[in-house]
Structure 1
Amino acid sequence: MRLTRYTDYALRTLLYLGANEPRQSSIAEIARAYGISENHLTKVVHQLGRLGLVRTIRGRGGGLRLALSPGEIVVGAVVRQTEEDLVLVECFGAGACAITPACRLRRALGEALAAFLAVLDGYTLADLLAGGAAPDLARLLGLPDPGGERVGV
């Protein structure tokens, strides 16, 4: 299973916001930290806001924050909501295959996809930030430490 860049950016944005809690972040600083396009990230953040995962604060002093606690954000749900098409092969979608009526591969691949998503459903954003991961991410992303100084990068 290969996730789209869009889903990758969505997950990375959530990790960034989680590692930067309780401070607000901007699209520009997230894009800079990951070396990705601000324009593309804006679209991702807009959808995360519509999904109720990210809260945007407009105006002076505005920014982005998680709208839910990290423990309420399930990785599998984020993947389902940000992936346009979760089919593994064309016969799963509208395209037809000559052997579809007798094909057992379709079922095996369907089970594999279900297993993949089930594993992701077992993880929350809090799990991904636990055990010292949040400070490590903050350091690698050059986020301010609790004292307000930038660390790392």
Structure 2
Amino acid sequence: MHLTRFTDYSLRVLMYLADAGDERTTIAEIAARFSVSRNHLMKVVQELSRLGYVCAIRGKHGGLSLKRAPESIRLGALIQDTEHSLALVECSVDEDNCHLSPACRFNSIASEALQAFLKSLDNYTLADLMVPDCRTRLREMKRINVHVE
């Protein structure tokens, strides 16, 4: 299984905002700090806002902040919310494409494994990712002089 760039960026945004606390930040700032596409990050933030993870306020004094406490953001749920498809095998999406589907158990075994994976991730929250070394690195990134539009 490979998580998409969308989920990767979602985690980065949430970690950045968790470190910022009550201080608002912008998409441009986060994009510059992580050296990622501002346009792609806009889509990520829009979805995180729609899902209730991020508060996005427009205007001169606007910006982004976490809408929920880091302790309440379960990693398994976040991954389920941000991944378009968690299908591990093609036949879980299109049974008609496999001649073995009616007799094969692999789809159900893979589904069981996926549920165990997500359940394991749900034992952890965004707060669990925010260890001192991570916070230090995020703060170092903020001090780097990067032009932000």
TM-score above 0.5 = yes
Aligned to 1:101: 102
Deviation of residue 75 (structure 1)?
1.0
Deviation of residue 62 (structure 1)?
1.3
Counterpart AA for 1:6:
F
Aligned to 2:63: 63
Deviation of residue 95 (structure 1)?
4.3
Aligned to 2:5: 5
Seen in structure 2, the aligned counterparts of structure 1 residues 42 and 9 have a Cα distance that, compared at 3 Å, is: same
Extract unaligned runs of 5+ from structure 2. Answer: none
Deviation of residue 93 (structure 1)?
0.6
1:78 paired to 2:78: yes
Contact 1:20/1:138 (8 A) holds in 2: no
Aligned to 2:117: 116
Query: Following the alignment from structure 2 to structure 1, what is the Cα–Cα distance between the partners of residues 134 and 22?
Result: 12
Q: Which deviates the most, 103-112 or 116-125?
A: 103-112
Contact 1:19/1:137 (8 A) holds in 2: no
Once the two structures are superposed, residues 88-144 of structure 1 have per-residue CA deviations (whole angstroms, 9 ceiling, x without a partner) of 1110012421011221221221121111111111111111113x144223234x22x
Contact 1:55/1:65 (8 A) holds in 2: yes
RMSD: 1.8
Q: Percent identity?
A: 48
Deviation of residue 78 (structure 1)?
1.0
Seen in structure 2, the aligned counterparts of structure 1 residues 152 and 37 have a Cα distance that, compared at 3 Å, is: closer
Query: Following the alignment from structure 2 to structure 1, what is the Cα–Cα distance between the partners of residues 101 and 11?
Result: 34
Contact 1:13/1:30 (8 A) holds in 2: yes
Query: Following the alignment from structure 2 to structure 1, what is the Cα–Cα distance between the partners of residues 67 and 134?
Result: 18
Contact 2:95/2:101 (8 A) holds in 1: no
3-state SS of paired residue (2:45): helix
Once the two structures are superposed, residues 55-96 of structure 1 have per-residue CA deviations (whole angstroms, 9 ceiling, x without a partner) of 012111211000011011111111111111110111001242
Aligned length: 145
Query: Following the alignment from structure 1 to structure 2, what is the Cα–Cα distance between the partners of residues 80 and 25?
Result: 25
Aligned to 1:40: 40
- TM-score norm. by structure 2 comes to 0.89
Contact 2:17/2:25 (8 A) holds in 1: yes
3-state SS of paired residue (2:102): helix
Query: Following the alignment from structure 1 to structure 2, what is the Cα–Cα distance between the partners of residues 8 and 84?
Result: 13
3-state SS of paired residue (1:45): helix
